[in-house]
């Protein structure tokens, strides 16, 4: 057997992934083990997990592949600093020590870290893949297509910010590139910064905020900031940005253009202006993506599209690409960001470096993205007992019945079953669930469970066989990466007064028969649940349907703001006790909040406040 270990690290969202004879064995982000959100460090614990999952040691691994090429990235940094000098000295002064101490000699660093795991590890096993090749490989090779156009869009890799590849069989060739500093990912991140959210983690907040606004600044952005061509290629006017030379994303010129300063999240409230700005940059992003995909379909005549890179997580744009019809089929890598680069790097080595053939599956090869750790019932019971939990054990069928009844009773439920998800989305393995028919569920989950902004929408997990009954979608969306509208028949008309409240006040307005998962524009970020990949979750929703007539549930990630998704039973219990989650279903153990020691709950609540 041939084992290939892929690694992404040292920027954000470090991860490890393992292939055995070209098949995925396991993949996980380092943050899930260290509990440090977006952990950029060497993924020591993720590597230990994927090796253990396969029952091998590092000595059994044939190659370790890093997801980008540091020398090319260093070349880009140096050329950029020279081009903007003398501006950018502070950024240069901060970046160079790290590069000269670590990143420039990454092969030695990787070898040193890997030798800590296996003292006999040899440096000749280390390979490097280009950043966007890793993204493209992660999108194409696990996809269900023999042939596809592969589009990757993110902030920046080495030089590339957008690439187009053609995948056929085991061959993947990059045919077009757009280079730094012209980047759709960095444009979106610039507006993430401008609206007061954190770059590289707050972009999805901008996407969620956009439906509350009107895209009245779209033309201003296209007139002054983005020179957009018919084929979707573009150039960014660097007069308004600071990311090439400074320590911020935008500058005074952009503030003057829009007439508002950068929002300070600790003191400045979100206003209608920020909602309109979010709507405008979202509209520009969709326009660029649609122009690119339409042109690619015309030029190549291939009807399948694969996508990866951070911008591929913009599920609103993905939904519009799918509905646009330029392509018959769209497949997006569920770990589309840098974490997925670890998987892509391993795939690139297997198919491109080693020239191994590719078997095209009837579905994709991601196994529902359930590629992380799992825990046996006895392990779960032991961990729960050690932390003082009180629980009842049930057989599988009865566990589903008990959990479905709790959902039907309007309770917030923690659901911890099977292997943990790989990627940023909870897909019914490490999820917090609720009743989508509840008008108060969205607000309750945001404010009392997730401890986050009240405008944030939640996603529905719906039985695949019933998706078209509820949403304007009749296809697969297993990874929660497609947005579609709710069906007209379940919408509810708002009054004129309600329509005038185009802000956060609209949160408690009933927008459909499933208000907890219906955004203010009647859209929803959909996960279709398939019995083949997650039978326990499918059984739960089926039982909820039997009880209520509703074949979907609210699904949000099992964590609170600022923390990674839970990984272990202990993580789950801590989150359960520190929030208003009322029931926890974990393996064959069911926990009810009322049964727990009140003093223990107080301790966990205090810890969350300190965090």
Place 319 in a pLDDT band, splitting at 50, 70 and 90: very high
Residue 507 predicted with pLDDT over 50: no
pLDDT in tens, 161-216: 999 999 999 999 999 999 999 999 999 999 999 999 999 889 999 999 999 999 99
Higher pLDDT pick, 430 / 246: 430
pLDDT in tens, 406-444: 999 999 999 999 999 999 999 999 999 999 998 888 888
Mean pLDDT of the chain: 92
Helix (H), strand (E), coil (C) string for 510-549: CCECCHHHCCCCCEEEEEEECCCCCHHHHHHHHHHHHHHC
- pLDDT for the residue 156: 92
- pLDDT for the residue 99: 67
- pLDDT for the residue 493: 60
Rounded Cα–Cα distance for residues 130 and 66 (Å)? 9
In the block, which residue shows the tokens 């690290």? 9
Assigned token pair, 180: 């730094």
Residue 55 predicted with pLDDT over 90: yes
Mean pLDDT of 85-113: 78
pLDDT in tens, 588-600: 999 999 999 988 8
Mean pLDDT of 231-250: 93
Place 608 in a pLDDT band, splitting at 50, 70 and 90: low
- pLDDT for the residue 502: 39
Rounded Cα–Cα distance for residues 71 and 69 (Å)? 6
Residue 363 predicted with pLDDT over 80: yes
Mean pLDDT of 531-546: 98
| DSSP-assigned states of every residue in 147-202 | EEEEEEE-S-SSSEEEEEEEEETTEEEEEEEEETT--HHHHHHHHHHHTT--TTTS
Residue 501 predicted with pLDDT over 50: no
Q: 488: burial class by Cβ within 10 Å (0-12, 13-18, 19+)? A: exposed
Mean pLDDT of 571-589: 96
| DSSP-assigned states of every residue in 306-348 | EEESGGGG-HHHHHHHHHH-S-SEEEE-TT-SHHHHHHHHHHH
Mean pLDDT of 494-515: 56
- pLDDT for the residue 80: 77
Q: 548: burial class by Cβ within 10 Å (0-12, 13-18, 19+)? A: middle
Contacts with 22 (C-beta within 8 Å, 6 or more apart), sequence order: 2, 347, 350, 351, 356, 358, 359
Place 500 in a pLDDT band, splitting at 50, 70 and 90: very low
- pLDDT for the residue 266: 83
Residue percentage of the chain with pLDDT more than 70: 95
- pLDDT for the residue 27: 98
- pLDDT for the residue 609: 54
Residue 381 predicted with pLDDT over 80: yes
Residue percentage of the chain with pLDDT more than 90: 79
- pLDDT for the residue 499: 47
CA dihedral over 322, 428, 566, 443, signed as positive or negative: positive
Contacts with 556 (C-beta within 8 Å, 6 or more apart), sequence order: 426, 431, 432, 445, 450, 458, 459
Place 508 in a pLDDT band, splitting at 50, 70 and 90: very low
Residue 494 predicted with pLDDT over 70: no
Assigned token pair, 116: 């800590």
pTM of the model: 0.93
Helix (H), strand (E), coil (C) string for 411-441: CCEEEECCCCECCCCCCCCEEEEECCCCCCH
Rounded Cα–Cα distance for residues 351 and 336 (Å)? 19
- pLDDT for the residue 606: 60
Q: Which of 28-37, 98-107, 178-187, 191-200 has the lowest mean pLDDT?
A: 98-107
Rounded Cα–Cα distance for residues 335 and 369 (Å)? 8
Contacts with 133 (C-beta within 8 Å, 6 or more apart), sequence order: 172, 174, 344, 348, 352
pLDDT in tens, 259-277: 999 999 889 999 999 999 9
């Amino acid at each position: 057997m041939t084992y290939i270990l892929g690694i992404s690290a040292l920027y954000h969202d470090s991860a490890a992934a393992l292939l055995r004879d070209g098949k995925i064995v396991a993949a996980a982000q380092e943050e899930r083990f260290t509990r440090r959100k977006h952990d950029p460090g060497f993924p020591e614990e993720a590597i230990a997990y994927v090796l253990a999952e396969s029952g091998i040691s590092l000595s059994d691994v044939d190659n370790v592949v890093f997801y980008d090429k540091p020398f090319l990235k260093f070349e880009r940094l140096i050329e950029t600093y020279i081009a903007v000098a003398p501006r950018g000295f502070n950024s240069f002064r901060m970046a160079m020590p790290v590069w000269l101490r670590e990143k420039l000699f990454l092969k030695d660093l990787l070898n040193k870290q890997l030798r800590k795991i296996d003292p006999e590890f040899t440096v000749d096993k280390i390979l490097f893949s280009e950043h966007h090749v890793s993204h493209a490989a992660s999108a194409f090779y696990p996809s269900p297509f023999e042939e596809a156009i592969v589009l990757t869009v993110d902030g920046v890799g080495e030089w590339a910010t957008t690439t187009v590849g053609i995948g056929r069989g085991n061959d993947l060739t990059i045919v077009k590139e757009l280079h730094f500093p012209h980047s759709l990912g960095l444009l979106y991140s610039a507006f993430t910064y401008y609206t007061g959210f954190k770059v590289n983690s707050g972009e999805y907040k901008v996407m969620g905020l956009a439906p509350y606004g009107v895209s009245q600044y779209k033309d201003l952005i296209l007139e002054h900031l983005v020179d957009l061509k018919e084929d979707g290629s573009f150039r960014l006017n660097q007069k308004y940005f600071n990311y090439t030379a400074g320590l911020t994303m935008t500058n005074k010129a952009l503030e003057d253009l829009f007439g508002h300063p950068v929002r300070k999240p600790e003191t400045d409230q979100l206003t209608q202006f920020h909602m309109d700005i979010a709507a405008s940059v979202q509209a520009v992003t969709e326009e660029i993506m649609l122009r690119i995909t339409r042109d690619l379909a015309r030029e190549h005549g291939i009807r399948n599209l694969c996508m990866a890179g951070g911008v591929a997580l913009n599920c609103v744009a993905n939904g519009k690409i799918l509905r646009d019809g330029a392509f018959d089929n769209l497949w997006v890598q569920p770990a589309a960001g840098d974490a997925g680069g670890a998987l892509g790097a391993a795939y690139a080595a297997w198919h491109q470096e080693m020239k191994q053939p590719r078997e095209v599956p009837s579905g994709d090869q991601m196994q529902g993205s359930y590629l992380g750790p799992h825990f046996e019932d006895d392990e779960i019971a032991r961990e729960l007992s050690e932390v003082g939990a009180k629980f009842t054990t049930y057989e599988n069928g009865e566990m589903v019945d008990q959990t479905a009844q709790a959902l039907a009773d309007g309770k917030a439920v923690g659901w911890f079953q099977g292997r943990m998800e790989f990627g940023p989305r909870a897909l019914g393995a490490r999820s917090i669930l609720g009743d989508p028919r509840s008008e108060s569920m969205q607000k309750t989950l945001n404010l009392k469970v997730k401890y986050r902004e009240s405008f944030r929408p939640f996603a529905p997990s719906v039985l695949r066989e019933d998706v078209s009954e509820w949403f304007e979608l009749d296809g697969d969306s297993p990874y929660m990466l497609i947005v579609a509208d709710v069906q007209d028949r379940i919408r509810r008309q708002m009054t004129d007064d309600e329509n005038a409240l185009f802000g956060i006040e609209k949160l408690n307005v009933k927008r459909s028969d499933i208000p907890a998962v219906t955004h203010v524009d009647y859209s929803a970020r959909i996960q279709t649940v398939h019995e083949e990949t997650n039978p326990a979750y499918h059984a739960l929703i089926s039982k909820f349907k039997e009880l209520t007539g509703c074949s979907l549930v609210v699904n949000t990630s099992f964590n609170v703001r600022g923390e990674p998704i839970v990984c272990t039973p202990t993580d789950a219990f801590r989150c359960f006790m520190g929030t208003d989650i009322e029931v926890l279903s974990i393996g064959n153990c069911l926990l009810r909040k009322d049964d727990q020691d009140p003093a223990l709950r107080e301790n966990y609540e205090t810890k969350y406040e300190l965090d």
